Structure 1
Amino acid sequence: MAKPMTKAQLVSAIAERMDTDKKTATSALDTITAIITDEVSGGGAVTLPNVGKIYCRERPERMVRNPATGEQIKKDADKVVKMTIAKALKESVNG
């Protein structure tokens, strides 16, 4: 498996595709990240066309097991961020 793209590599790719400088590309990436973070943390969802949907899901209170001791522990309800991958992206990866 290839190494994940770093932020610096992503900024360079954005700057190249947009035919702009890295400062503008960094600002664009940071703005998009902030918008997604604000929307999802507020309980909403963001759809990135041809990529997928990022959303927050609540998990109920449940019993979990400590793998070291085998002890059952009650875990409080919490929220997790999920992403559903778009069909277009799946198809582009699979051929």
Structure 2
Amino acid sequence: MGKALSKSQIASTLAEKVGITKKQATLFLDELAQLAYKQAKNTFTLPGLGKLVLVNRKARKGRNPATGEVIQIPAKRVVKFRVSKAAKEAILGSK
């Protein structure tokens, strides 16, 4: 398995493919991330990849792995990324 691409590598690949400078590609990635952060509460969709969604988790009981003691885990809001069907098929292949 290969190494994950760094932000710089992604920016340079995008710049080369689209025909813009690396600095513009980096700015685009930064602005896209900021927009995703602001819009996550309304669900933010990246076409062809998936969407960011806020999910409310219920309170539940858990177990401390070190002691085995039962503990109460409080309810909380979490951010999840749901991968689109198109992305799954492109990566895994269709059944």
TM-score by length of structure 2 reads 0.88
Q: In the TM superposition, what are the counterparts of 1:58-77 in structure 2 within 5 Å?
A: 58-77=56-75
Identify unmatched segments of 5+ residues in structure 2: none
CA distance in structure 1 between the partners assigned to 2:84 and 2:47 by the alignment: 8
Percent identical across equivalent pairs?
Answer: 40
Displacement of 1:2 in angstroms is: 2.2
Q: Give how far 1:69 is off.
A: 0.7
The answer for the alignment partner of 1:26 in structure 2 is: 26
1:94 CA drift (Å): 2.5
Unaligned runs of 5+ in 1: none
Question: Partner residue of 1:4?
Answer: 4
After TM superposition, where is structure 1 displaced by more than 4 Å over at least 4 residues in a row?
none
Q: Under a length normalisation based on structure 1, what TM-score does the superposition of the two structures give?
A: 0.88
Give the CA deviation at 1:8. Answer: 1.0
Deviation at 1:11, TM superposition (A): 1.0
The separation in 1 between residues aligned to 2:6 and 2:51, in whole angstroms, is 21
Q: Distance in 2 between matches of 1:58 and 1:4?
A: 30
Measured in 2, the distance between the counterparts of 1:23 and 1:30 equals 11
